[in-house]
Amino acid sequence: KTIAIVGCPFSGGQPKLGVDKGPIHLVEAGLIEQLEEIGWKVHFDGHHQFEEIHAASDPPIKTLLKNPRLVSRVCESVASVVGGHAKNGQLPVTLGGDHSLAMGTVSGTLASYPDACVIWIDAHADINTSKTTESGNIHGMPVSFLLGLGENHPEFAWIRPVLKPERIVYIGLRDIDTGERRILRENKIKAFSMHEVDKYGIGKVVEMALDHVNPNRDLPIHLSFDVDALDPSVAPSTGTPVRGGLTFREGHYICEAIHETGLLVALDLMEVNPSLADPESVRQTVAVGCSLVRSALGETLL
C-alpha cells in the first residue's frame, strides 16, 4: 500500500504563528525516507498552498468564529485531497497545521469509508460550537462540525454531519471547556481522560476505546493525533500545551496498538508548531511527531 503525505501548512484555526511550518519541519526531518525505510511506498503530495483570505474580507461570524471563510475553504480542499487519496486506496497521512484541518481530513476519509471510526488523541475535545466557544478559534471546534452539532453556518455549508457520536472516542483529555463537557455528556461521547489513563494504564484504555468504537474490530480507523496530547515535557513546541499529558511511551503505544489492528486508513499528525520553543525543544517535538507517525505505520520496537 502507498502512503500519501499531505502537507497542510495552515494556521487559520488558531492565533499563534508558526504552526503552518509544521509540515516542512516534519518532512525536512526525514519523515518520508523514514517511512520508506520501514517498507512503505510514499507519495509526497506536496505542501498544499492555500491562498490567503485577508482578515478585512473575512470578519468573525457574529458569534466570534475567527477566519471562518478561510478555515472552511481550506478544509474543503483538504477533504477533497484526502478523500482522493483514500479513494485511490492510498493511506493519507496529513501533516498539520492546526487541528481545524481535521474537518477536512475526517470528511475526506468518511467519504471513502463511511463506517470508519475516529480515534482522537488530544488534551482537548475540539468539540465547541459557535455558541460554546470561548476563544472563537476554530481548531477547538472541528468535531462539532463533523457531528453536525450547533447552528448551521453558511460559510461551512459543505460540511456534512458524516460522523456519528458512537463512532468517535477520545484519549488524553485534560482541558475541556464548560460547554464541551455538556456536549460530550448530552451526546454520550466516550472519552478517556488522563485520569483513566492513570487508573487503568494505556493498554487497557486503548482496548476499551477500541471496544467502544470498533467492537468487532471490523471498522476502518481514522487516527487524529494532536501532539498536545503528549506531556509538554515530551512535545513542548505546540500552541496549547497542557501539563499532565501522555508520556512518550503512552503516545507511541496508542499508535503501535492501532497499527496492530490492521484497520488504520488515515492519520493526522497535528499542532506541531516549530516556532514556540528553543531549537532543541523544537527538534525534539518534530522528532516525536515523526516517531509517532512511524509507529502508527508499523515501526515496532523488536
Which positions are catalytic? 99, 122, 124, 126, 139, 226, 228, 271
Least distance CB 47 / Mn ion (angstroms): 12
Q: How distant is the alpha carbon of residue 3 from its chain centre? A: 17
**Sole binder of Mn ion in the list 58, 196, 228, 250 (CB under 5 A):** 228
Contact 140, 239 (CB under 8 A): no
E-strand ranges in 188-299 read 190-193, 221-226, 264-270
Contact 109, 86 (CB under 8 A): yes
Among candidate residues 31, 175, 162, 29, the one with its CA nearest the CA of residue 102: 162
Q: 224 phi and psi, to 5 degrees?
A: -115, 105
Does 135 sit near ligand 2BH (CB under 6 A)?
yes
Least distance CB 140 / ligand 2BH (angstroms): 2
Q: Which does 45 bind (CB under 5 to 8 A by kind): Mn ion, ligand 2BH, none?
A: Mn ion
**Cβ proximity to Mn ion, 175 vs 256, nearer residue:** 175
Interface characters, 204-243, with ligand 2BH (x: CB under 6 A): ----------------------x-x-----------x---
My answer on whether omega of the bond before 83 falls inside 30° of 0, hence cis, is no
Q: Which does 140 bind (CB under 5 to 8 A by kind): Mn ion, ligand 2BH, none?
A: ligand 2BH
Least distance CB 283 / ligand 2BH (angstroms): 21
Burial 125-146 (b: 16+ CB within 10 A, else e): bbbbbbebbebbbbbbbbbbbb
**Cβ proximity to ligand 2BH, 105 vs 133, nearer residue:** 133
Residues 144-203 that bind ligand 2BH (CB under 6 A): 177
**Sole binder of ligand 2BH in the list 7, 23, 83, 140 (CB under 6 A):** 140
CB burial class (10 A; 0-12, 13-18, 19+) of residue 49? Answer: exposed
In one-letter notation, the amino acid at residue 85 is H
Contact 114, 89 (CB under 8 A): no
Least distance CB 80 / Mn ion (angstroms): 11
Residue count, binding to Mn ion (CB under 5 A): 8
**Consecutive H or E run containing 206:** helix 202-213
Least distance CB 300 / ligand 2BH (angstroms): 28
Does 126 sit near Mn ion (CB under 5 A)?
yes
Residue count, binding to ligand 2BH (CB under 6 A): 15
Least distance CB 120 / ligand 2BH (angstroms): 9
125 CB contacts (<8 Å, ≥6 apart)? Answer: 143, 170, 173, 176, 177, 180, 183, 184, 191
Window contacting ligand 2BH (CB under 6 A); options: 105-113, 131-139, 150-158, 186-194: 131-139
What residues line the site for ligand 2BH (CB under 6 A)? 99, 122, 124, 126, 128, 133, 135, 137, 139-140, 177, 226, 228, 240, 271
